[in-house]
Amino acid sequence: MSVRPFLNIEKNISETYPKISITLQNKGIGPALIIDQKITYNGISVNNWSSLTELIEKDKLIFWKKYVPEWYDLNHLTVSSKDEYDVYTIANSNLRNLNNAIEAFNKITIDYTYTDIYQDTFKYSYPK
């Protein structure tokens, strides 16, 4: 029986209350232990989600209310089977800014390295 984790990231867009979020999911059977994460925006490496927000604001001149989890650094986070985490969400009451935010989010890349319970190593890149 396989207990392999399978990480996945989805970009979620809501026009009702203009917001956009990145959701990390484990669609596999077993838990995933994240051992490394790399985030870039338009080819520029960032150390955490707050730095990402700063680059987005500079690039698009969007001022958003950001919702970033307390654990900015997901290294050593265990993601159980079927768990989901909103790892990055920004919102604004102005719908016009949503299109700019979508364009900005399309410049984000995320690379995760994670292991299963047997210490086998896997990689996941967003976008694929």
Looking at the predicted structure, is the pLDDT value of residue 66 above 60?
A: no
Distance CA(48)–CA(27), nearest Å, equals: 24
- Give which of 128, 34, 30, 45 is closest to 85, Cα–Cα: 34
Say whether pLDDT at 85 is over 50.
yes
- Check pLDDT > 90 for residue 124: yes
**Quick one: pLDDT at residue 86?**
83
Average pLDDT, rounded, for the chain: 83
* Residue 71: predicted pLDDT: 47
CA 63 to centroid of chain Cα atoms: 19
Which helix (H) or strand (E) segment holds residue 100: the answer is helix 96-105
* % of residues, the chain, pLDDT over 70: 83
Of residues 53 and 116, the one with the higher pLDDT is 116
Determine the 3-state secondary structure of 38 from DSSP. strand
Where helices occur in 22-95 by DSSP H, the ranges are 49-60
Least reliable range by pLDDT among 13-22, 78-87, 109-118? 13-22
The answer to whether the beta carbons of residues 127 and 112 sit under 8 Å apart is no
- Taking the C-alpha atoms of residue 103 and residue 120, their distance in angstroms, rounded to an integer, is 35
**Furthest-apart CA atoms within the chain: distance in Å:** 50
Task: Look at residue 59 and tell me whether its pLDDT is greater than 90.
Answer: no
Higher pLDDT, 69 or 25: 25
User: Which of 60, 65, 77 shows the shortest CA–CA distance to 21?
Assistant: 65
